[in-house]
Amino acid sequence: MAETNIDPDQLRDAANRIGGIMTSDVMTSFTELGDVPTAGQFPTATWLQNRVRDRIDALTTQAKLLETTFGNICDSLNTVAGQLENTDVDNSTQIGQTIEDLKKNNSADTSSITSGEDTDTDTDGGEDTDTVTDNDSG
């Protein structure tokens, strides 16, 4: 039987690095893209303006998806690290459940972003970073 050895402190360190990828400074870069300047009042300009607005919205949505996913991975890996410190053979199902919860929560969180809903499944009581605003001003 193969033996797996995981250092909980190193797992927490990796989790926190993943959780720190999409900092508020990074997210500000996406939110500062803001409004699209008017390209003109003729059909090609209107098309271009709408196309740029669509790409900015898509980029911002992708950034929110990454922020949510990385946050969920960080939370779950920290939970697993805590469980590993006290684990025995019977706790492997609890770790498996945590991984399944990550998959379920991340799926719900990311689908709420793409559908424009705000479904906060965070259980840490932290700030809600999943809020989506309608930026379609074009």
Report angle CA 32, 37, 43 to the nearest 5 degrees: 140
Give the residue extent of every domain in the chain.
31-115
Mean pLDDT of 75-84: 90
Q: Using CA atoms, how far apart are residues 128 and 83, in angstroms rounded to an integer?
A: 25
* Torsions phi, psi for 33 (to 5 deg): -60, -35
Residues 22-77: tens digit of each pLDDT: 999 999 999 888 888 888 899 999 999 999 999 999 999 999 999 999 999 999 99
Sign of CA dihedral 27, 106, 92, 94: positive
